[in-house]
């Protein structure tokens, strides 16, 4: 069938939703049984299940915020409680005729299942040159890890014994190489081609893994290779896996998300597209995860006006339109990119954000030899150096992991505020600006501030 890829949200109250989802991901037959059960309520004619047909429970209603009952129910200290899902999401392909029919069903909502792209920048770029404090192609020389760690001030945390130990960072990406990087778990859909830890060392996810370890070398990693299905439904499944794992043991404490959309569709043609509708299931699931206690770092994007990525559509380039979808949610930590000279890298997307205006939140470092580069694990096969807001974001996430190893009681909101309040302000005006947020993350300044206000581990 040639149809339209969508996410069907079907009313179905389930008090055992987490248990059901865990059972579904253990075997294809159980996933198919649950999907068929959902379709029986609406009629399956004209609907073809996606290759990822595992139903995904939704706990946050449209227009609602997570309440105390939801937050308590997904805390590892309260295993006797279980959140009640109100609806279930089913990825599917549907004919246009059936689509029109389902739109009249009050128990069904239809959402886009849109393709996502990685925010690396080694693909074709515009040929603008560095000028006026902006670094564009041909970019300034990359730096090694010693320079980056000195800029971040990691020695202050490390000398005090905080290197990210006991912290797990989830990498939501195309997969991580577990031979080189400390992958201790993750998630794979039934029958998935990409398994946790099995990606090539040249993968985008391996770059992100290396970059988390810049500031947090003792952190461990979960691999969530959603870009095997590079769309909103794939990301939604991985965030549900994060929530499942958090419910078991309180990990991962951080997720890294270096992907997003590269254009802005016409709102008249796609009013409930992920970029325009904050109630899209993907955004609600991200907010569920943050509310549970997981800090989510998102890349600002590579569609800045000076030298945007070649993947960017003109509709999504420049201030006000280049930070959108989940990357612009108020609850997440949105990261722009600078080089080692504190110049904004010209492809780094610029605020205001399309959901929360004051985006990005902070900037972080890109263009260094981490996974890629001479003598690095991936060599120079795919890229001369780690790049994009894709690289800047896990560097910031690694700083967050090191800080959490000192004080694991920090909530996502407290961690975000700490990073923002102690960032190095490099803008032309004091405070937040659309290019750098509140400034460049600094591990030493954040640790000094935290040490003066909050109890530390050890």
Write out the chain's pLDDT in tens, 458 residues: 567 889 999 998 888 888 888 888 777 788 888 888 888 878 777 788 876 678 999 998 887 777 777 777 777 766 667 788 889 999 988 888 888 888 888 889 999 999 999 987 544 333 344 444 899 988 999 999 999 999 999 999 999 999 999 999 999 999 999 999 999 999 976 666 678 999 999 999 999 999 999 999 999 999 999 888 889 999 999 999 999 999 889 999 999 999 999 999 999 988 999 999 999 999 999 999 999 999 999 999 999 999 999 999 999 999 999 999 999 999 999 999 999 999 999 999 999 999 999 999 999 999 999 999 999 999 987 789 999 999 999 999 999 999 999 999 999 999 999 999 999 999 878 899 999 999 999 999 999 999 876 566 76
Q: How many CB atoms lie within 10 A of CB 134?
A: 21
pTM of the model: 0.94
- Is residue 440 within 8 A of residue 343, CB to CB? The reply is no
**SS3 helix, strand, coil % of the chain, rounded to 5?**
30, 20, 50
CB 348 within 8 A of CB 300: yes
Tokens representing residue 96 in the block: 């246009």
First-to-last C-alpha distance (Å) of the chain: 60
DSSP 250: S
Q: Cα–Cα distance between 392 and 112 in angstroms, integer?
A: 29
Q: For position 65, what pLDDT does the model report?
A: 77
Q: What is the DSSP letter of 132?
A: T
Q: Domains in the chain, ordered, with CATH? A: 4-112 (no CATH), 117-453 (3.40.50.200)
368: which residues sit within 8 A by CB, 6+ positions away? 142, 143, 144, 145, 147, 148, 214, 340, 385, 386, 391
The phi, psi pair for 335, rounded to 5°, reads: -120, 125
Measured CA distances, 332 to 76, 131, 296 (Å): 22, 31, 5
| pLDDT score for 78 | 66
The maximal CA–CA distance of the chain, rounded, in angstroms, is: 64
Return the bridge partners of 111, or none.
7
Query: Token pair of 196, please?
Result: 């946790």
Please give the pLDDT value at position 121: 54
């Amino acid at each position: 069938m040639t149809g339209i890829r969508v996410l069907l949200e079907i009313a179905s109250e389930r008090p055992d939703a987490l248990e059901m989802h865990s059972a579904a991901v253990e075997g294809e037959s159980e996933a198919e049984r649950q999907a068929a059960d959902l379709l029986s309520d609406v009629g399956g004619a004209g609907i073809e299940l996606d290759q990822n047909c595992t139903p995904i429970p939704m706990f946050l209603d449209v227009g609602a915020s997570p309440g105390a009952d939801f937050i308590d129910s997904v805390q590892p200290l309260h295993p006797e409680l279980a959140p009640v899902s109100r609806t279930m999401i089913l990825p599917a392909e549907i004919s246009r005729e059936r689509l029109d029919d389902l739109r009249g069903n009050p128990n069904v909502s239809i959402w886009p299942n849109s393709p996502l792209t990685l925010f690396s920048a080694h693909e074709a770029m515009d040929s603008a040159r560095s000028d006026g404090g902006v670094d564009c192609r041909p970019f300034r020389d990359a730096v090694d890890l010693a320079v980056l760690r000195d800029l971040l001030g990691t020695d202050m945390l490390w000398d005090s014994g905080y290197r990210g130990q006991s912290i797990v960072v989830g990498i939501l990406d195309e997969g991580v190489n577990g031979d080189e990087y400390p992958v201790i778990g993750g998630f794979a859909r039934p029958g998935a081609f990409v398994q946790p830890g099995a990606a090539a060392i040249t993968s985008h996810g391996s770059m992100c893994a290396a970059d988390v370890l810049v500031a947090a070398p003792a952190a461990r990693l979960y691999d969530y290779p959603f870009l095997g299905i590079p769309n909103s439904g794939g990301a939604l499944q991985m965030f549900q896996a994060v929530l499942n794992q958090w419910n078991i043991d309180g990990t991962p404490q951080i997720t890294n998300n270096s992907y997003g959309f590269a254009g802005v569709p016409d709102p008249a043609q796609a009013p409930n597209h992920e970029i325009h509708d904050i109630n899209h299931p993907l955004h609600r699931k991200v907010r569920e995860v943050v509310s549970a206690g997981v800090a989510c770092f998102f890349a600002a994007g590579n569609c800045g006006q000076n030298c945007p990525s070649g993947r960017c559509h003109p509709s999504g380039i420049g201030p006000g339109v280049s930070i959108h979808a989940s990357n612009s949610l108020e609850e997440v930590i949105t990261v722009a990119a600078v080089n080692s000279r504190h110049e904004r890298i010209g492809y780094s997307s610029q605020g205001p954000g399309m959901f929360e205006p004051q985006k990005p939140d902070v900037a972080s470092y890109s263009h260094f030899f981490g996974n890629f580069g001479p003598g690095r694990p991936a060599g120079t096969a795919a890229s001369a150096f780690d790049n994009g807001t894709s690289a800047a974001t896990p560097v910031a996430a690694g700083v967050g992991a090191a800080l959490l190893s000192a004080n694991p009681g920090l909530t996502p909101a407290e961690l975000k505020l700490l990073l923002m309040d102690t960032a190095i302000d490099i803008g032309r005006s004091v405070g937040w600006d659309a290019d750098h947020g509140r400034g460049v993350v600094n591990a030493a300044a954040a640790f000094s501030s935290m040490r003066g206000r909050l109890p530390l581990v050890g």
